[in-house]
Amino acid sequence: MQMNKKTLGEIGGYAGMILLQSATLPSIVGAIVNPSAADLPPLSMVLMVWVGLLLYLIRAIVQRDKLYMISNGIGVVLNFILLIILVFGSN
């Protein structure tokens, strides 16, 4: 029974990670496919999310938390791409 709870927790954690980190994909894809019609979030918000994820990533590395290292690493990369698009444009 204990093993099933742990497995369910891991599956739930990774499913949540996929859902959460894929939230930035529509903005990124929209900005690449059709830059003039892209609905991008404000730069300040993306910057604060990126810094927050970077700090969470540092914490996850120190604590050796694999799920959070993967999740926050992906989030840092995706939000960095979004920052580049916001600052330099997608052209």
Is 72 in contact with 53 (CB distance < 8 Å)? yes
The secondary element (H helix, E strand) that includes residue 21 is: helix 2-21
Q: What is the pLDDT of residue 3?
A: 64
Is 38 in contact with 27 (CB distance < 8 Å)? yes
State mean pLDDT over 66-74: 94
Tens digits of residue pLDDT in 5-50: 778 888 998 999 999 889 889 989 988 888 888 788 999 999 999 9
Q: Is the pLDDT of residue 90 over 60?
A: no
For residues 4 and 77, which has the higher predicted lDDT (pLDDT)? 77
